[in-house]
Amino acid sequence: MTTVGLIGSGNIGGTVARLAVDAGYDVVLSNSRGPETLTDLVEALGGHASAGTAQDAAQVGDLVVVSVPLKAYRAVPVEPLAGKVVIDTNNYYPQRDGAFPELDSGEITSSELLQRHLPQSRVVKVFNNIYFKGLAALSRPSGAADRSALAIAGDDADAKAEVTAFLDRIGYDAVDVGPLAEGWRYQPDTPAYGTLYSASPTDWEHPATGDAAKLRAALAAATR
């Protein structure tokens, strides 16, 4: 697997793209306004980055990252993602996204919503609970004492193995939380959300290692 497609290239998508390029992947970026608006980011990322439409990114990506405001999830192209592993970074913020009754009731999780939209893809929830500046700063080589771990959830074991290998290459360990239905354990307002990777609960600007043990404890402490 060599090409990572990005649907959404903002704070988180752009940061994942940076880590992927640094790890030797090619990346194809996309956003809602069109590839011409991504020139600066492509230039900053260097020769292994290019931009296209969301359709292009979905088509050429061996692995595709969806990182858009959740309210835009229905715009994610379905057909070119069939059979692919799709990473879902999205979070539900009603004040930004509007109300989704099935999420408010806890009937399903936000990543199950994307999985329903992409029935032939294998969705894995990851990057949702780490602030983008922390994600950029905490990447470490395999085996480093201060390596951080990211939570993954998904319904397909092979897809999770693929994402675990991707995370390892871009500088993170993985902690498997279980199926997508368990993804609520690191959604907004849980102990694993955000401040797990910062030096202080009130200061997200200073990242701090969130290792597997710390992450597991936070996931176990979550209540719905």
Ligand X SMILES: NC(=O)c1ccc[n+]([C@@H]2O[C@H](COP(=O)([O-])OP(=O)(O)OC[C@H]3O[C@@H](n4cnc5c(N)ncnc54)[C@H](OP(=O)(O)O)[C@@H]3O)[C@@H](O)[C@H]2O)c1
Nearer to ligand X, 158 or 205 (CB): 205
Task: Examine residue 172 and tell whether it contacts ligand X (CB under 6 A).
Answer: no
Stretch that binds ligand X, among 42-50, 67-75, 118-126, 150-158 (CB under 6 A): 67-75
Query: Quick one: tokens of 209?
Result: 């290692």
Residue closer to ligand X, measured from CB, 31 or 109: 31
Interface with ligand X, residue 10, by CB under 6 A: yes
The correct pick among 44, 75, 165, 181 for binding ligand X (CB under 6 A) is 75
State which residue, 99 or 157, has the beta carbon closest to ligand X: 99
Instruction: Examine residue 7 and tell whether it contacts ligand X (CB under 6 A).
Output: yes
Helix (H) or strand (E) holding 6: strand 3-7
Q: What angle do CA 161, 166, 172 make, to 5 degrees?
A: 100
List the one residue from 72, 199, 208, 222 that touches ligand X (CB under 6 A): 72
Residue 210 sits at φ, ψ, to 5 deg, of: -120, 95
- Pick from 219, 99, 102, 200: which is nearest to 151 by CA? 219
Provide the minimum distance between the beta carbon of 83 and ligand X in the complex, in angstroms, as a whole number. 21
Pick 65 or 85: Cβ nearer ligand X: 65
- The interface region with ligand X, picked from 44-52, 65-73, 136-144, 169-177 by CB under 6 A, is 65-73
**Subset of 26-45 contacting ligand X (CB under 6 A):** 30-33
Other beta carbons within 10 Å of 102: 14
Comparing C-alpha atoms, which of 182, 165, 170, 180 is closest to residue 220?
Answer: 182
Instruction: Give me the DSSP letters along 137-196.
Output: H----TT-TT--EEEEEES-HHHHHHHHHHHHHHT-EEEEEESGGGGGGGSTTSTTSSGG
70 part of the interface to ligand X, by CB under 6 A: yes
Residues 76-105 that bind ligand X (CB under 6 A): 89-91
| Residue at shortest CB range from ligand X | 10
Site for ligand X in 183-212 (CB under 6 A): none
Q: Considering the rule CB under 6 A, would residue 67 count as an interface residue with ligand X?
A: yes
Kindly report each contact of residues 92-97 with a partner whose C-beta sits within 8 Å and lies 24 or more positions away, as own/partner.
92/187, 92/188, 93/188, 96/69, 96/70, 96/71, 97/69, 97/70, 97/71
For binding to ligand X (CB under 6 A), which residues are involved?
7-13, 30-33, 54, 67-70, 72, 75, 89-91, 127-128, 131-132
